[in-house]
Copies of this chain bind each other. A is one copy, B any other.
Amino acid sequence: MSRLPETGAVQRLIDTLSLSDQVQHYLLDALTSGRLRPGDRINEAELARTLGISRNPVREAVSGLAQRGFLVSAPRRGHFLRRFTRQDVDDVFSFRICVESFAIRQALPRMRRPDHDDLARLVERMIAAARAGRLAELHQADMALHRRICELSGNRQTLRAHEGIDTEVQMLIAYVDLEREPPLHSALAHLPVVEALASGDVERSVTAMQHHLETTWAFVHRMYGRTGRGEPLIDAGDVPPSQVRRIRG
């Protein structure tokens, strides 16, 4: 059985992802799509059975998501989807403004004509999608736009940070299936940003982006009950159901 020379290369294209990675994507999709809801428990064995694989890849995937902060782990009890408080919303969005502003500052001086065209196309796609009522595509192009700006910054740390934020934002808006901004409004909101970028004016671009993000922030913020900006910083939101264990009095 002479192994073909290309086998290696072909393989690399086919089986690119390990089972663990596939499980992670599966879970991330479940998380960001709202199929899994905050507080939900991840049952490793059951998930393994469902996917028809052993528990090892599942464990690696789940443990990775926990380390990245998307799940909370309770030793010997399992992993749970995070709960979110109003403070989490504020933390994520304020930090997001910080990161994306920084991305613009680094990206703009490096951007060339085709890059600007890229962004413009994305906005056009958003508008078209919004008009046609294709919300999924609108949402996807939205993320792509923000991500692209971070890519253009050329700063890997920025891009990495943005990935985390992005996932978190999706989780935030997934489980309050919100009447969000009117789609078209949401699409048009990106226009000033791209135009400012095209003008080459850094400060104007940053301001435009900040304004856009603050608007989104406000929409999401409104969905979350009063959970206390002023509350103690106890990691409260994260306790799984029955961990509310009585402190005997």
Contact = CB atoms under 8 A, between A and B. Distances in A.
Interface of A: 3, 5, 8, 12, 15-16, 18, 20, 56, 59-60, 63-64, 67-69, 75, 88, 91-92, 94-95, 98-99, 102, 106, 154-158, 160-161, 164-165, 168, 233, 245, 247-248
Given A155-B95, A156-B88, A75 B245 contact: no
Instruction: Give the interface SS of chain A, mostly helix, strand, loop or mixed.
Output: helix
A247 B98 contact: no
Contact of A94 (B12, B98, B106, B233): B106
Given A64-B64, A98-B99, A233-B154, A75 B106 contact: no
A28 B67 CA distance: 14
Nearest to A55: B56
Given A67-B67, A92-B157, A94-B155, 14 more contacts: A3-B248, A18-B75, A56-B56, A59-B60, A67-B68, A69-B160, A88-B156, A91-B158, A94-B106, A98-B98, A98-B158, A154-B233, A157-B168, A161-B161
B91 A155 contact: yes
A78 B157 CA distance: 23
A152 to B, nearest CB: 10
B63 A8 contact: no
Contacts of A20: 63
25 contacts: A5-B248, A8-B245, A8-B247, A12-B75, A16-B75, A20-B63, A56-B59, A60-B60, A63-B63, A63-B64, A64-B67, A67-B67, A67-B68, A91-B155, A91-B157, A91-B158, A92-B157, A94-B155, A95-B155, A95-B158, A98-B102, A98-B158, A157-B165, A157-B168, A161-B161
